[in-house]
Structures are given as structure tokens and as C-alpha cells.
Structure 1
Amino acid sequence: MNQCTAVALLPPPEHVLALSAPGGHRPEAGHVLCELGENHDTAHSAMLWDEGGRPGSAVWVRWDTERAQLLPLPWCTALDPRNADDACGLFAGHPSAHSWEVTDPTDQAITRDLARLHPHLFR
């Protein structure tokens, strides 16, 4: 399944702006790309950061056409049946496929091109 291609430009949260030093570099808006499989039926989602070590430590942005929310969400506990050491890289209860079933078509195209140009690196 291909990855969703939804992109959003998100401004930094107000509390982050309030913490920035006066006269210093202020955080800027940034783009996020949905990490879910295409044709999902809920809000788009991207993981922003993971503080690690405790449930709900990963902070995700979930957005639709109306608004965006930052949410601490626990990780999906499903394990890749091809390699039990690899867990799903999405949040618990995510819609669509698990992360190992979602492919980024842009990443695949770049990899194919690099393999064609530099076959010795892709044996």
C-alpha cells in the first residue's frame, strides 16, 4: 500500500513561541507528511518526536481540513510477521495498514534511480 500524500504546513504552537527568547530566533512553520497508508478514513497523522521510555511518549500531529492537534499517543504494539524484532512505527489504533505494509513511492523512486546510477552500492 502506498503512503498517503497529504502534506500540511503547521505553525509552531503558541506555547513554543512564548518560550522563545525575545529578539532571538523564533521557531518557524514546518511541513509534515502523513505517515498513514493511502485512502485512510480519518485525520492525517505524522509523528513529531518521541521522548521514549514511557507509554504515550510519542507526540503526533493529527490534522484534517479544519484543524491540527498535537497528541501524545502510545505506539502500536503489532509486530512485523516477517521479523518479530520490528514493531509497527505508527500509533495504537491507527487506521489503515501497519507501517511495514506502507511504502513511500518517492523513496522507492529515489532508491531505484540510485541503484541504476550506482549498482555497486545495491548488491
Structure 2
Amino acid sequence: MNQCTAVALLPPPEHVVALSVPGHRPEAGHVLCELGEDHDHDHAAMLWDEDGRPGSAVWVRWNAEHARLAPLLWCCALRPQDVDEACGLFVGHPAGHGWEVADPTDEAIAGDLAKRHPHLFSRS
């Protein structure tokens, strides 16, 4: 399934603004939803993770009305064909697991590169 294409421009959290150097307010930043398309819940993007400890991944969840930061546990599902690859999304995420969600932009770039430089891509 393709990745959701929802994008949000989020202002920096107030605690970050309070810690910034006077006269150098942090800028707003864009986030792109990491979930599979056609999900029914809030959009989500991971902002940072502190060494994979339980609850250390901080995600932003947003909809048309508001955005909020949330520490979420990692989904513990492992890819059936490769037990070394974990999902990469949070527990209870909607739609498919991380390995089932394809970024259409990355896919298009990889396809173009494979046509231009086939010797760099394995034939499997």
C-alpha cells in the first residue's frame, strides 16, 4: 500500500521556544504522515527516539483541528520473511505494518535510477 500523503506545518513546541536563544525563535517544520493511505485515524510521524527504550519514541499525531506530541511504544511485529526487520510504527497503528507501506516518491526515484543505472540494482 502507498504511504499517506498528508503533510502538516507544525510550530515548535512552547518548551522548545522557551529554551531558545532570545531573538532566534525556532522555525516551524513540515511533517509527513508515515502511515498507509486511507487510514481512519489521526496522521502520525515519528519525531525522535531515544535508543529504542519502551515509550521513548516521540510521535506527532495530528488531524484538521490539532496536533499533539505523544510518546508511543514501538509495534513489536516482525516481518515474516525477515525476523530482523521490525515494523517501525507504533503499537496499535492503523493500516499496514511499516514494511507494507511504500513511499511513492521513493519508489519512483528507485525505478528511474534502476532504468538509468541497471548495473547498480540486483536482479531478483
Per the normalisation by structure 2, the TM-score is 0.94
Q: 1:85 corresponds to which residue?
A: 84
Q: 1:76 corresponds to which residue?
A: 75
SS at match of 2:71: strand
For residues 119 and 15 of structure 1, what CA distance do their matches in structure 2 show? 49
Question: What does residue range 12-91 of structure 1 map to in structure 2 within 5 Å?
Answer: 12-23=12-23, 25-91=24-90
SS at match of 1:85: strand
Q: Which runs of 4+ in 1 moved over 4 A?
A: none
Deviation for aligned residue 1:113? 0.7
Q: Give the direction of change, closer, same or farther, for the CA distance of 1:53–1:47 in structure 2 (3 Å limit).
A: closer
Tell me the percent identity.
75
SS at match of 2:15: helix
Deviation for aligned residue 1:120? 2.1
SS at match of 1:108: helix
Paired letter, 1:118:
H
SS at match of 2:68: strand
Q: Give the direction of change, closer, same or farther, for the CA distance of 1:4–1:53 in structure 2 (3 Å limit).
A: closer
For residues 121 and 87 of structure 1, what CA distance do their matches in structure 2 show? 26
Structure 2: runs of 5 or more not aligned: none
Q: 2:101 corresponds to which residue?
A: 102
Deviation for aligned residue 1:53? 4.2
SS at match of 1:120: helix
Structure 1: runs of 5 or more not aligned: none
Per the normalisation by structure 1, the TM-score is 0.95
